[in-house]
Amino acid sequence: MCGIFGITGTKDAAKLAYVGLFTLQHRGQESAGLVTDDGGTLRHHAGMGLVNEVFDNAVLAGLTGRSAIGHIRYSTTGSSHIKNAQPLVLNSCLGVVAVAHNGNLTNADALKAKLQKDGAIFQSSSDSEVILHLSARCPGRGLEDTLAKNLPKLAGAYAFLFMAPGLVIGARDPHGYRPLVLGRLGKSYLLASETCAIEVAGGKVLREVEPGEMVSIAGGKLRSRRFAKAKEFTRCIFEQVYFARPDSVVAGRSVQTARYEIGALLARELKSVKADIVSGVPDSGTVYALGYSEESWIPYQTVFMRNHYTGRSFIQPDQGLREFTARLKLAPIRDVIKGKTIILIDDSLVRGTTSRKIVASLKRSGAKKVIMAIASPAIISPCYFGIDTPNRKELIANKLSVEQIRRYIGADELHYLSLGSLVGACGSGKDRNFCVSCFTGKYLEAL
């Protein structure tokens, strides 16, 4: 999972792209990078860490130019290393081209092996470089043509931003797994993973880039073309479950509203469950808990204080500090917890390690009972399309029954939301078709 942002035709390109990336920070904290187009010269800066750690005023001042594309990385494929920080910039017979990618290509290894056999030398271990190598070997009349010819060779999930002198291109895979939206700010066009980034940058959201669509912006004009036959949208439902910011709109619905409704549906499904208070694991669980509270008439209370300032320095502390990190991030509010039966909502349960720690923390703080309620179904199958759910063996719901998981996490009860309720709250009509393979184990394409 990653975040991408692009802007064209403004003297403030780098600054606005910084704002866009800063707004998308929740989508990845590993690395950040920007490339600007300064009259045909691509300027590049990327580094490990948060957006405000990678860029300062001096760095931004050096990123001159009227267009920019940027990326923040949450590693899924490729190791955590500066050489995998994007955008990647490559020189080839296509000229200099930068690429920023959100998603995961399921045939990257096979394509890469074939390209390497032909002599290709890869700069990074991420799968995103493959499209440029393919394109350099099979050029068309211009970059747009070349990409239109080569993008259909990719399988899996992608939202891409490309930059070449005088040109910015956005492309979305034929299923529309990963998000990409188009916006406008004055005469500038914006492309972003989420609508919140376009709005915070001061722009207006125009529409989503369609599945299999490529949009190109050159000389202030936008062109659209299809590089693949339009298929039905199959957006990743994990955007609504966990990834997207609540002030974004996904599949035509406010994420905040969808999560509130999911919370209410969870309450309806758990009608017979009695408790003193309902709460959420911050931040993502909070909205679900508010929806649950309204529907069930069980009062909402905050049971954990989240410290938002645990930047990169606290993500990998030395061994001695490691045990503090959970408490540093989430501190229990004892007075609220003591003697209570608590329904605690989290968006998802993946390995079970978070729930186990959180339940233990509530019990240590004197909770009478902890009822864990998950705002999504059990994750039984890995994601091959860019969400960092681990391999099958690490998914607790793939190995254990609900009762066994309950015992492992130490809760008094454990409940999951049904898939029908989740899908119903996330979209309607033609926007009701989602990728839910992590919950069903059924994939659209053979892998």
Residues that are catalytic: 2
Span interacting with ligand AMP, options 41-49, 204-212, 350-358, 419-427, rule CB under 6 A = 350-358
Contact between 306 and ligand AMP per CB under 6 A: no
Q: Which ranges of 78-122 would DSSP assign to H, the alpha helix?
A: 108-117
Contact between 376 and ligand AMP per CB under 6 A: no
Which two structure tokens, joined as six digits, stand for 413?
């009860």
Contact between 239 and ligand AMP per CB under 6 A: no
For residue 166, the 8-state DSSP code is: T
Other beta carbons within 10 angstroms of residue 321's beta carbon come to: 12
386: left (phi over 0), alpha (psi -120 to 50) or beta: left
For ligand AMP, the closer CB: 225 or 357: 357
Contact between 25 and ligand AMP per CB under 6 A: no
Is residue 164 within 8 Å of residue 97, measured between CB atoms?
yes
Give the closest residue to 178 by CA, choosing from 235, 227, 127.
235
Is residue 130 within 8 Å of residue 108, measured between CB atoms?
yes
Span interacting with ligand AMP, options 140-148, 310-318, 351-359, 426-434, rule CB under 6 A = 351-359
Contact between 148 and ligand AMP per CB under 6 A: no
Identified binder of ligand AMP from the candidate list 107, 124, 257, 354, rule CB under 6 A: 354
Contact between 341 and ligand AMP per CB under 6 A: no
Contact between 8 and ligand AMP per CB under 6 A: no
Contact between 281 and ligand AMP per CB under 6 A: yes
| CA 397 – CA 406 distance, rounded (Å) | 11
CA 252 to chain CA mean position, Å: 17
For ligand AMP, the closer CB: 6 or 382: 382
Contact between 143 and ligand AMP per CB under 6 A: no
Is residue 279 within 8 Å of residue 303, measured between CB atoms?
yes
In angstroms, give the least distance from the CB of 304 to ligand AMP. 11
Identified binder of ligand AMP from the candidate list 67, 348, 381, 437, rule CB under 6 A: 348
| CA 168 – CA 70 distance, rounded (Å) | 12
Strands 88-92 and 156-164: unpaired
Which two structure tokens, joined as six digits, stand for 277?
């208070």
- Which sign does the torsion angle of CA 235, 236, 242, 243 carry? negative
For ligand AMP, the closer CB: 138 or 305: 305
Is residue 195 within 8 Å of residue 148, measured between CB atoms?
no
In angstroms, give the least distance from the CB of 284 to ligand AMP. 5
Residue 278: HSE in the Cβ half-sphere, 13 Å Cα cutoff: 27
Contact between 120 and ligand AMP per CB under 6 A: no
Is residue 332 within 8 Å of residue 365, measured between CB atoms?
yes
Identified binder of ligand AMP from the candidate list 184, 225, 351, 363, rule CB under 6 A: 351
Identified binder of ligand AMP from the candidate list 28, 33, 291, 352, rule CB under 6 A: 352
Span interacting with ligand AMP, options 22-30, 122-130, 148-156, 349-357, rule CB under 6 A = 349-357
In angstroms, give the least distance from the CB of 57 to ligand AMP. 31
Contact between 182 and ligand AMP per CB under 6 A: no
Contact between 398 and ligand AMP per CB under 6 A: no
For ligand AMP, the closer CB: 271 or 393: 393
Contact between 388 and ligand AMP per CB under 6 A: yes
CA angle 424, 377, 269 (to 5 degrees): 65
Contact between 350 and ligand AMP per CB under 6 A: yes
Span interacting with ligand AMP, options 32-40, 191-199, 254-262, 381-389, rule CB under 6 A = 381-389
For ligand AMP, the closer CB: 35 or 50: 50
For ligand AMP, the closer CB: 213 or 347: 347
Contact between 436 and ligand AMP per CB under 6 A: no
Q: In what order do the strands lie in the sheet with 41-48?
A: 41-48, 31-38, 67-73, 2-7, 188-192, 181-185, 204-208
Identified binder of ligand AMP from the candidate list 284, 293, 376, 433, rule CB under 6 A: 284
Identified binder of ligand AMP from the candidate list 347, 376, 405, 433, rule CB under 6 A: 347
Identified binder of ligand AMP from the candidate list 90, 209, 344, 349, rule CB under 6 A: 349
For ligand AMP, the closer CB: 64 or 77: 77
For ligand AMP, the closer CB: 279 or 284: 284
Q: Considering CB under 6 A, how many residues would be counted as binding ligand AMP?
A: 16
Exposure pattern of 96-135 as b/e (b: 16+ CB <10 Å)? bbbbbbbbbbbbbeebbeebeeeebebebebbbbbbbbbb
DSSP state letters, 215-248:
EEEETTEEEEEESS------EETHIIIIIS-TTS
Give the closest residue to 244 by CA, choosing from 408, 21, 27, 412.
27
Contacts with ligand AMP by CB under 6 A lie at: 242, 281, 284, 346-355, 387-389
